[in-house]
Amino acid sequence: MQNSSVEHGPGPSVPAGALTTGTMYAPTCRGREVLDRVGDKWSLQVLAVLADRTMRFGELRRTIDGISQRMLTVTLRTLERDGIVIRTMYPVMPPHVEYALTPLGKTLLEAASAFIIWAEAHVDLIEEARADYDARAADEAGPEGFRTS
């Protein structure tokens, strides 16, 4: 995925130095796939819960509550594969398995924390914005010959 066609003419549309602010982000490259990975419905949840302590499968299932058995398994497997959590199995009866964050997982959680905190801090503002937007939208679509009088 690259910008093969920036050629919208010989125009000086990009003043060469316009890339001051951003540029650093621009998940145009492979970082995307990591974001996709961790940006799914459950990964961050699992991460956040494991931040506190090591947990067993059943504990995670009960703690996260809302997650299905299958999705917990899938999520944990992927995180394990990515080196973000580590799975320790004790071959006893009944089985005992523990999940913990790896050092990599901890750095991830740290990096994501600002994001998570932002989300929680601004959720109200966003919902307000939505209400506003919807109200305005209704305003534009609403006055459809309702001049009853």
Partner DNA sequence: CAGTATCCCAGTAGATACTG
Partner DNA sequence: CAGTATCTACTGGGATACTG
Please give the residue ranges that form the binding site for DNA (CB under 7 A). Answer: 40-42, 56-59, 66-71, 73-74, 76-77, 87, 89, 94-97
Least distance from DNA to the Cβ atom of residue 23, Å = 22
| Smaller CB separation from DNA, 10 or 94 | 94
The four Cα atoms 73, 108, 101, 79 give a dihedral, to 10 degrees, of 20
Q: Which residue has the tokens 């910008």?
A: 3
- In the list DNA, its own copies, none, the entry touching 96 (Cβ below 5 to 8 angstroms by class) is DNA
- In the list DNA, its own copies, none, the entry touching 68 (Cβ below 5 to 8 angstroms by class) is DNA
Question: 138 to each of 21, 124, 129, how far by Cα in Å?
Answer: 36, 21, 14
Least distance from its own copies to the Cβ atom of residue 33, Å = 7
Q: Are 107 and 62 in contact (CB under 8 A)?
A: no
Least distance from its own copies to the Cβ atom of residue 102, Å = 9
- In the list its own copies, DNA, none, the entry touching 103 (Cβ below 5 to 8 angstroms by class) is none
The answer for 29, left when phi > 0, alpha when psi is -120 to 50, beta otherwise, is beta
